[in-house]
Each structure stands twice: as C-alpha cells, then as structure tokens.
Amino acid sequence: MSIVLTIFLFFLNVSYAFAFAVPKPPIVRQLSTSVPSNSTESSCSSANGNVIDECWRCDEKWKDNRRNLADCAVGFGRDAIGGRAGEYYTVTDSGDDNPLNPSPGTLRYGATQDQPLWIIFDRDMVIKLKQDLQVASYKTIDGRGNNVQIGYGPCLTLYKVSNIIINNLYIHDCVPTKRSLGGYSDGDGISIFESRDIWIDHCTLERCYDGLIDAVNGSTDITISNNYMLNHNEVMLLGHSDEFSGDQDMRVTIAFNYFGEGLVQRMPRCRHGYFHIVNNIYREWKMYAIGGSANPTIFSQGNVFIASDNQFTKEITKRESVNGDDEWMEWNWKSEGDEMVNGAFFTPSGNEDSPSYAKMSSMVARPASLLKAIHPSVGVLSCVTDQPC
C-alpha cells in the first residue's frame, strides 16, 4: 500500500469519526461545599433521600426491568405511567426524513403511534428533527443505556396528551420551525400544551431558542426532576399569560434538579397555579431564580441557593405586578428549610400559614444540607448493563 493511499485512508477514517461520533453531554461540576462521592453509590444510599433514584438505580437488572421506572415518580406528576402498559419499541434509525409519513424504526414513528409504547434506543445517536415531534399519549421515551440527543432543530412538543415519561435525553440547541400543516413551533426543548400527567426526569437541557421546558394552557400534574439545566436565558415558563385563567389549577413539582452555570432567569417563572420547588440546587443565576405574576402559590422547600458575587443578583425572587407591592404582598410565596449561600435571599409574601401550602405540598423534602454533602447526580446517566445505574 502506497504512503499516499495510507494517508488518504487515515484522514477518511478521521473524518468519518468526527462526522458520526456522538459528543458526550456536559457533566455537573463539583460543588465547592460538597465532598467527592461515587454518584451511583450515593444515589443508592437511603441517606441520600432522593426517593426517585432509590426506587430504581440500585437494580443491576434495570435494563430488563425498565418499566419499573413508571412506579418511581413523585410529586404532582406521580400518576404518569407513560408506556408501561405497551410493548417495547426500539429506535434503530436516527433520521427524520418524512415527518408526515415517518419510517418505522425512527423516533417519530414510535412516538406518534396511538397505542402505549415504551421507546428505547439501540445505540448512541443524535436526532435532528425536521419538525417538532408531537408525542402521543401513553409514551415513555427512555434513553437509558445510550447517549441519545435531540438537537440542532425543533424538539419535543406535548400537545393535548397525557401520561408521558421522558427520561435520560440530552436536549439542546432547539430552534423554531414551520410545520407542514401550518403554524410554527416555539423552539422550546420540551413544550407542554394543555397536557397532564407528565414526568421529565434525568435529562440535560441547554441552549434552546425559547424555553428549556415550558408548560402552558391548562397543563397540570407535572413533575420535573433530576435534570441538569445550563447555558440558557429563559429557562422554564409555567403558565400561559396573566389573563389566562385556565392555568389556575396548574400543579407542578420541581425536585432534585441542578440549575447550573450560564442560566439567567425563570427557574421557573410561574403564573396562577401551585408550584412545589423542593430539593434543587441553584447556582449563580444572572438575574433571578424564581419569579412569577398573577398570584401563583410558590412553596420553596429544602433548596440550596448559591448566589454569584454580583451584589445586584443576590435576590432569588422576582415578582411582576401591574399594581405594585400592595398586590404581590398578598401572594403566598414561602421559603422553608432553604439554605442561602453567598448572600442569597428569598423575599416571602402572603400568609405563611395559608391552607394553600398544604394543598400543594406534593412530596416530603429532605434537609438542604444533604444536597451540599453529596455530589449532584443529575442529568443524563451513563447506565451500564448488569450494574447499578
């Protein structure tokens, strides 16, 4: 073999590798206040207090028992069963050539079927959708065991559906696009519209055009847990508008998430409804962490808030009210057991003993000190067959 041919084949192989290699998702950096620990062991420890992870991650046969995940949700989205009652569907094709007539083997084909399905993947893949994927009811999209990414195009939409579980996906660089049947997608990572019984767990989300996760227009009974969010401006919108009264019964639990580097605001921004924000870590937001308007009830419990060194961004909360302080001082916003670091502070309001807090206390909080003592095990997981995940 000539040296010229050898060099050509070398560069061809290198080009192929770069073209088709799936980059790894970002990993949470160590908290300065935590001690090093093995993420799997800490997640299996009863002292950790993460009841979701304790429910399934210690099982060496997690791959054979994937459907057990559906029994592990907590909070307002705890009744989401996804595709537990259906067959497995394996994604073998990362393409999305024809959104109106998707090919069998693609994610779109499985996610849009009428029957319940538990969707898994046969290998690592990056899925670049041509249009946003409107997931049908009773679906689980389960990326465990592979590096599955949805990005560089429109992403996921839950429109008038119920019983959805989304687990272990890296969702990033989502953009709006025109739909074949009219209208445009928003450019959210996950857009939830008039849907219920939704659970989004152990995903990593960053750099989308609009929100990372938005829930609007009467959506309710949602749990957003164990996710790693980073590098984004308007992170999470919960509630369509101040005027839309259909969101008054919205209930969302936000638990065990890590709001990391490069986030600006809306973690979340709430309108109307009831929001239990429990056992999350917030790190160095650039404007504010938790905001709202239109009289939402917000219960912040057992979180760790680490402010940046910027003296103008120490406050965790932000309220938007057309009638000023006299209006928002009546809204029920409460902090209980939160740990404030580097000058962070939460401004409470309303009646500290309001019965509304009992209505929206969706799970038992663990002490915030535990979050600082154990390295966060959030976002997508590197699960290996026949080992605890």
Sign of the four-CA dihedral 65, 164, 260, 206: positive
Q: What does the alpha-carbon distance between residue 278 and residue 256 come to, in Å, rounded to a whole number?
A: 7
Q: What does the alpha-carbon distance between residue 160 and residue 195 come to, in Å, rounded to a whole number?
A: 5
266 in active site: yes
Strand pairing report for 213-216 and 232-234: unpaired
Q: Give how far the C-alpha of residue 152 lies from the chain's centroid of Cα atoms, to the nearest Å.
A: 18
Q: What does the alpha-carbon distance between residue 236 and residue 15 come to, in Å, rounded to a whole number?
A: 38
Instruction: Please say whether the beta carbons of 341 and 307 come within 8 A.
Output: yes
Q: Pick the catalytic residue: 57, 78, 196, 266?
A: 266
Q: What does the alpha-carbon distance between residue 38 and residue 182 come to, in Å, rounded to a whole number?
A: 49
The catalytic site residues sit at 266
